[in-house]
Structure 1
Amino acid sequence: MDQTEKPWNNSYTINLDVKPGQTLQSNTSNELKMDAKPRGIALIFVTVPELALEAERYRSIFQQLLFESVICPALTRDQTVAKLSEVADTNTKYKGDGFIMMFIGHGYNERIIGWSAFPQWPPAPRDVLPIRDIVAMFSETRCRTLAQKAKLFVFNCCSEMSGTECVTPGFVNSQSIDTMASLDTKWKNDNKLTHVIYACAQGSKAWHKPVNGPIGHVSVFGQALSHTIAQYSWQKNLYQLFIMSVKRLEEELNQKDKTNCQPEIKMVTVDKKLFFNPGLFNNHTLVALNQ
């Protein structure tokens, strides 16, 4: 591949074709294992009707990364917890090397807001779920089924704030990681296989927009990350994909002079590299090497 290849232009089709891998990149002590088929389970929660097709795009992307992908639309806080518990609390052996949770919806201050038939602001406590509590469900000590397996949590939320709980919004430099205030140092040290990406937009409703194409609506962060994964995941690890997505966001927003829409992105990362190896799995690779 030409390393100077320019990022793909924005597409507003629903599905993006993920470039398949050519060489398995999970064979060293510095890289997390990712060669099972299926890789694991990917749960995609979406609480904004306009972004239902963006959720479908991610279902397709994760499927192409060989995950069993499921969309979970319009779930309340309690229904979200119940769905996550099906994975976190099961005694059944987990078939795969990783787990993905993506949330596309409303949130604030490192919390997500479950779907409600009667939404209000500030949200009712019964509708709010801290990100800290979600990732705690999958900690190494609690979720034995996924112990020593890669776990990825992506929260694509708006950043409306509530009263005295406000934090100063702003763009987090692409090199700034481990910046989520609600995840303490001890938790991070004890859960080195967990990735948490929290992306949101300054302002209350600037984070998604209608577009002229079959997908209808896209979120600012979701559009950048989906294209980056599709184009580069065959050779780049998760941290590199994250950095490339941030750069893409910066460039696009600067070109449009939309500084008021700049996203705030935080990441808690691990020491080892995570490659998705799209299209490649262990048996397939062995066959190819023996030919």
Structure 2
Amino acid sequence: MLPIIEASELKSLNKDSYILIDARGFGNSRERYEQGHLQGALYIDLDELAAHPENPAFGGRHPLPSLQYFTALLGRLGITSQSHVIVYDDKGAANPAARFWWMLKAIGHQKVQVLNGGLQAAVKAGLTVTTDVPSTPEPATYQAAHDFTGMAVLEEVSKAVQSPDNIVIDVREAPRYLGRTEPLDLVAGHIPGAINVPYISNMNAENQYLPAEELKANYKKVLNGKQPEQVIVHCGSGVTACHTLLALEQAGLPGAKLYVGSWSEWSRRDLPVGTEEV
């Protein structure tokens, strides 16, 4: 199963064959959800996909919750390990949709897809938008295959940026990477040695993912002969980076790791800061 599903494909599926998740979750997203969402979609918020540490210097702004917490959340959504889950947001999967996809994959879930182009593409394809909030699903028990996998910790990143055998990709916009602006964290700049491949390069002008073959060609150039397993991807707080991990998987290049703490952790640990292009 490809990790990205087109709106036309979703439209043709039996509505009883999948669980649809609206993951626009941050800011006033609950209000936006109530003002209109895809029929049958259940709401989740970014806050539900992260723990809330007292000190972001240890884990970043959006560290992973415990496995127990996450599986309980899935159970409340009626999701089991056999469910076909389809998730969307309204930011081209750059926010919680890709994070939710990655978290499910990281605990061994097989049938999970992200809607290409999100809510906008669904509306354009003629899928039903409603203000009716679905009834609470029948609770389920989610049995994870294993704890979260596919992560890199700060110490591993520190070694990787100094090794010719690894690539560390920073997916933030170039001005943040170069330290010209920093709207969210305390220090501007990037991890020295990390290269900048902004997540927006995964998308076309309509905010949809590029075709798989084009993504593959683009990332083959970035990898320059290295395997995806030698790659660590990060962003500001471990959310947007999942957009690029999704692109790599769609391109047939799975195996890269997520640095969950990302710049929000690194920049709070009195570590070196880069402001020039690598």
TM-score, normalization by structure 2: 0.30
Larger RCO (CA within 8 A; separation ≥ 6): 1
Higher strand residue share: 1
